């Protein structure tokens, strides 16, 4: 059991039988009254973010999480299938539990968060940036670079992203998987 003094970003806690990741926290010591901790929690299963306030010194149940790298193999009606490169164990994860799943391509390595005691899969995180090839985009006009205008483009995974006008079909671009935005041309 941990207390509110042990709270840190990224910590996973069990609250009323559900698992939550702590996104933000703030210890508050008002001039009058008892101290408390204001937190933002993200539900592991639904992804919903809630605000929760704990009184100082309250005991909270910390959940031990292990992060393991898994390689993406294929997708079928059961979900997305991954393999642990060390043990060759294969697992299936529903698409809702993978953040940035629309940018996932064969062979990508994702970080799967597993409940250490029950071996339950909580969530899978894509790398922050991925390099994908543009499969289709409208041609840009020559010399039209005065403004920071974006155009839609389809990448090899089928997802649509907004790219600058100078990007052409067949080029590789770096994409931020958290926001789905164009970062830069890939070398």
Structural domain boundaries enclosing 85: 65-125
Answer yes or no: do 8 and 56 share one domain. Answer: yes
pLDDT at position 161: 92
pLDDT at position 143: 62
Q: Which residues pair with 126 in a beta bridge?
A: none
The one-digit pLDDT tens for each residue of the chain (187 residues) are 888 889 999 899 999 888 899 999 999 999 888 999 999 999 887 778 999 999 998 999 999 888 899 999 999 988 899 998 888 899 998 888 888 889 998 888 999 888 888 888 888 888 899 999 999 998 876 666 667 788 899 999 999 999 988 888 999 999 998 888 999 988 7
Distance from C-alpha of 179 to C-alpha of 181, rounded to nearest angstrom? 5
CATH number of 12's domain? 2.30.30.30
CATH number of 171's domain? 2.40.50.140
Distance from C-alpha of 149 to C-alpha of 57, rounded to nearest angstrom? 52
**40, 62, 84 — which closes off a domain?**
62
Answer yes or no: do 83 and 135 share one domain. Answer: no
Answer yes or no: do 40 and 29 share one domain. Answer: yes
pLDDT at position 123: 83
pLDDT at position 145: 61
**29, 62, 95 — which closes off a domain?**
62
pLDDT at position 149: 81
Answer yes or no: do 86 and 98 share one domain. Answer: yes
**125, 145, 167 — which closes off a domain?**
125
pLDDT at position 146: 62
The tally of domains found in the chain comes to 3
């Amino acid at each position: 059991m941990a207390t509110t003094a042990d709270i840190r970003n990224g910590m996973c806690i069990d609250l009323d039988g559900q698992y939550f990741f702590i996104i933000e926290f703030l210890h508050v010591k008002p001039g009058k009254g008892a101290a408390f901790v204001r937190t933002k929690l993200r539900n592991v299963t639904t992804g919903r973010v809630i605000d929760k306030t704990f009184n100082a010194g309250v005991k909270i149940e910390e959940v031990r999480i292990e992060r393991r790298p898994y390689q993406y193999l294929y997708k079928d009606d059961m979900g997305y299938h991954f393999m642990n490169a060390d043990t060759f164990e294969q697992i299936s994860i529903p698409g809702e539990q993978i953040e940035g799943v629309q940018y996932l391509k064969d062979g990508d390595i994702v970080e799967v968060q597993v409940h250490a005691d029950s071996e339950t899969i909580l969530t899978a995180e894509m790398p922050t940036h991925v390099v994908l090839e543009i499969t289709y985009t409208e041609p840009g006009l020559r010399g039209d670079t005065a403004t920071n205008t974006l155009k839609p483009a389809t990448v090899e995974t089928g997802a649509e992203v907004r790219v600058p006008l100078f990007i052409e079909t067949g080029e590789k671009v770096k994409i931020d998987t958290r926001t789905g935005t164009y970062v830069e041309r890939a070398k």
